[in-house]
Chains A and B, each alone.
Chain A
């Protein structure tokens, strides 16, 4: 069965950015009709399902938005848009106030000022940040929420985006949404590469395994210009649980040490990628494993750590207690993760202007899918959502309501009829193994050369993409898994082209091109791409001021 809906605005993805955009847009004009579509339930969907334990993008006392911009550009080794960062940074403290008003607990001192964890962070209780945002959205009469509906592609009219379509994750219902303006806010991509653990713990990863790059893939297929996908994000994480390490580094000042007990980080620098490179290098030099030095912290500090991790990554607290290897008595082993594609931490994503307009008309991007603007974190995603909401509200009247679009559901139906020799899982592993081995995955210490990248491209096409067309779906959940695989494949192919195009090594912790092992100032530019009929064309763009 097909169902059709029309509205003013479609928000794809009810996460941090999507929900905040709906809130701001409704505040600006409560007459605007909004649809939010999420493949899970907006109360716990996306990367903040378990919570978040600090707001990590904030302008602290005695600092300016410009300081934040400079910090982010330095951390990205120059590859970021000053203009995009500036528009975000200006709003960080404002959106912090807004989310506090919505109900987020933020620690304040006796004078009512936020208590800072560092000059860029404030302390919160963020376990319930998603339910808080979801409740705020549910109170809005102009917003209609579609939970458990997975969007697969945009509706296009020439260069214009006029909605999107997809399917219910539960029943055989296919949905078409025709609108004036669309915000893509589906998050980044995990699972393109082989994850940290095989088999039983394959989803014990940091970024959500359910963020599969849908937004990037839809944009790529529709011919949107994408930027900096080659700036993959490798996170430094607690071994086994893959829980964040920032709370240990910033909360108790834990320094990195190797298995000989040596402090080594000063030899490598202190950007995000350099911190990862430090661990990879120490491991390769025979000084593995590496740790964050927590031995000697107080009982009170240990209790605070337990609470902090319960609010974002409960597995870590359970591990400390269950194994009796508590942080007071045992240093915390650290490791790098699989490479993720995520515009909230790096500059990977849609190429957007200051108003977060993509290169496709009436399509906006915010949060982890939007490129050029790294170090966004939660508040940066809010800031981008606000920018989008304000622009949409300002321009909506100029857009004519498009006629309702139909779509061919046989694209979905055929997977129920297919007879495949392979399972979805087998092809997923084939993709992840190829990317890991030939495109600089975790087991290769993030290293690759051009010949390997060419092999990766061939294998992805022959071994996985062609076969994925024949996969069989027994139910709607299988259909979801098939589309998630296809999204990752679409992103993987363009990612390989971006990795090939950057003939230098810019962020050694994230990616080392062994043919070009050094930084090359000739690559002080953005690597962008547009894909047409499956062919990706690379475009070099100036960094701008």
Chain B
């Protein structure tokens, strides 16, 4: 499921356009994105990648083994950097070079 940091959200609407499930909408007089129902999130992370201010993260629900860690993405032309922030504050970065194929 995703969660949106309302303090960071700038209401640009990019996530609303990109969500394959039409799950996001702008509320509060179009200044902030809301998810209609996080239970309906597929976890594709399209919104996580497109958010220009990293206001959206993906989290594993408790029934999937999640404990509150947050997954963010920093997208650019050549790299996709994934950032995991664990509950204790530890940050883990995973960099995927878009110009390289996956080894597996």
> B82 contacts A201, CB within 8 Å?
no
- Residues facing B in A28-57 (CB within 8 A) are 39-41, 43-46, 49-50, 53-54
A114 (CB) vs chain B CBs: closest residue: B101
Interface check A4, CB cutoff 8 A: no
Say whether, besides A41-B18, A44-B18, A319-B65, A477 and B36 are in contact (CB < 8 Å). yes
Q: What is the CB-to-nearest-CB distance from B10 to chain A, in angstroms, rounded to a whole number?
A: 19
Say whether, besides A240-B64, A314-B71, A323-B65, A208 and B102 are in contact (CB < 8 Å). no
A106 contacts which chain B residues (CB < 8 A)?
Answer: 101
- Residues facing A in B79-102 (CB within 8 A) are 80, 82, 84, 86, 92, 94, 96-102
Interface check A308, CB cutoff 8 A: yes
A128 contacts which chain B residues (CB < 8 A)?
Answer: 98
**B interface SS class:** loop
Counting from the closest, the 10 A-B pairs by CB-CB distance are A251-B104, A107-B101, A304-B103, A44-B46, A49-B44, A50-B44, A322-B69, A240-B64, A123-B101, A40-B20
Q: In the bound complex, how far is the Cα of B43 from the Cα of A241, in angstroms?
A: 9
- Residues facing B in A110-145 (CB within 8 A) are 115, 117, 123-128
A46 contacts which chain B residues (CB < 8 A)?
Answer: 20
Tally of contact residues, B, Cβ under 8 A: 44
- Residues facing A in B6-59 (CB within 8 A) are 17-22, 25, 36, 38-46, 58
Q: Would you mind naming 15 contact pairs between A and B with Cβ atoms under 8 Å apart?
A: A43-B46, A50-B46, A54-B104, A105-B101, A170-B22, A200-B62, A201-B1, A201-B61, A208-B20, A250-B104, A307-B94, A308-B102, A315-B60, A319-B64, A322-B69
Interface check A310, CB cutoff 8 A: yes
Q: What is the CB-to-nearest-CB distance from B94 to chain A, in angstroms, rounded to a whole number?
A: 6
Task: Find A314's partner among B25, B45, B65, B66 (CB 8 Å cutoff).
Answer: B45
B60 contacts which chain A residues (CB < 8 A)?
Answer: 240-241, 315, 318-319, 322
A130 (CB) vs chain B CBs: closest residue: B46
Say whether, besides A105-B101, A201-B63, A204-B43, A322 and B20 are in contact (CB < 8 Å). no
> B21 contacts A322, CB within 8 Å?
no
> B21 contacts A43, CB within 8 Å?
no
Task: Find A202's partner among B39, B66, B96, B98 (CB 8 Å cutoff).
Answer: B39
> B46 contacts A322, CB within 8 Å?
no
A148 contacts which chain B residues (CB < 8 A)?
Answer: 17, 22
B95 (CB) vs chain A CBs: closest residue: A307
Q: In the bound complex, how far is the Cα of B24 from the Cα of A214, in angstroms?
A: 22
Q: What is the CB-to-nearest-CB distance from A190 to chain B, in angstroms, rounded to a whole number?
A: 10
> A251 contacts B103, CB within 8 Å?
yes
Q: What is the CB-to-nearest-CB distance from B45 to chain A, in angstroms, rounded to a whole number?
A: 5
